[in-house]
Amino acid sequence: MSIGHTLLGLLESGPRHGYDLKRAFDEKFGHDRPLHYGQVYSTMSRLLKNGLVEVDGIEAGGGPERKRYAITEAGITDVERWLATPEKPEPYLQSTLYTKVVLALLTHRDAGDILDTQRSEHLRSMRILTDRKRKGDLADQLICDHALFHLEADLRWLELTAARLDKLRAAVTR
Amino acid sequence: MTIPAGSLLTAQDLRKTYGPTTALDGAEFSIHPGEVVAVMGPSGSGKSTLLHCIAGIVMPDSGSITYNGREVTAMSDAERSALRRSEFGFVFQFGQLVPELTCVENVALPLRLSGSSRKEAERTALAWMERLEVDDLRKKRPGEVSGGQGQRVAVARSLVTNPRVVFADEPTGALDSFNGERVMELLTDAARSANAAVVLVTHEARVAAYSDREIVVRDGRSRDMERVV
Chain B residues touching chain A at CB-CB below 8 Å: 40, 42, 185, 203, 205-206, 208-212, 214, 216, 218, 223, 225, 228-229
pTM for the complete prediction?
A: 0.81
> Which pLDDT tens digit goes with each residue over B90-148?
998 876 899 999 999 999 999 999 899 999 999 999 999 998 899 999 999 999 999 88
> Which pLDDT tens digit goes with each residue over B8-60?
999 999 999 999 999 999 999 999 999 999 999 988 889 999 999 999 999 99
Q: Which of B62, B49, B48, B82 is nearest to B12 (CA)?
A: B62
**Per-residue confidence (pLDDT) for residue B229, from 0 to 100:** 43
Cα(B150)–Cα(B51) distance, integer angstroms: 22
Q: Which residues contact A141 (CB under 8 A, 6 or more apart)?
A: A133
Q: Which of A126, A134, A162 sits opposite B205 (nearest CB)?
A: A126
Level-2 CATH architecture, domain B1-87+166-171+198-229: 3-Layer(aba) Sandwich (3.40)
Please judge whether A86 and B229 are an interchain contact, meaning their C-beta atoms are less than 8 angstroms apart: yes
Residues 84-103 (A) with a CB less than 8 A from some CB of B: 86
Contacts of A120 in chain B (CB under 8 A): 214, 225, 228-229
Q: In what order do the strands lie in the sheet with B221-224?
A: B88-91, B165-169, B197-201, B36-40, B213-218, B221-224
> Which pLDDT tens digit goes with each residue over B137-191?
999 999 999 988 999 999 999 999 999 999 999 888 878 888 888 889 989 998 8
- Minimal C-alpha gap between B28 and chain A (Å): 17
Q: What is the dihedral of CA B108, B110, B111, B114, to 10 degrees?
A: 150
**Per-residue confidence (pLDDT) for residue B223, from 0 to 100:** 87
Work out the angle at residue B41's Cα, subtended by the Cα atoms of residues B40 and B47, and round it to the nearest 5 degrees.
75
**Per-residue confidence (pLDDT) for residue A28, from 0 to 100:** 85
Assess whether pLDDT exceeds 70 at residue A61: no
Centre a 10 Å sphere on the Cβ of residue B90 and count the other Cβ atoms it contains. Answer: 20
Q: Report yes or no: A119 at the B interface, CB cutoff 8 Å.
A: yes
Q: Which residues contact B44 (CB under 8 A, 6 or more apart)?
A: none
Residues paired with A145 in a beta bridge: none
Cα(A148)–Cα(A145) distance, integer angstroms: 5
> Which pLDDT tens digit goes with each residue over B86-103?
899 999 887 689 999 999
Contact B40, B208 (CB under 8 A): yes
Amino acid at position A59, single letter = E
Assess whether pLDDT exceeds 80 at residue A74: yes
**Per-residue confidence (pLDDT) for residue B199, from 0 to 100:** 97
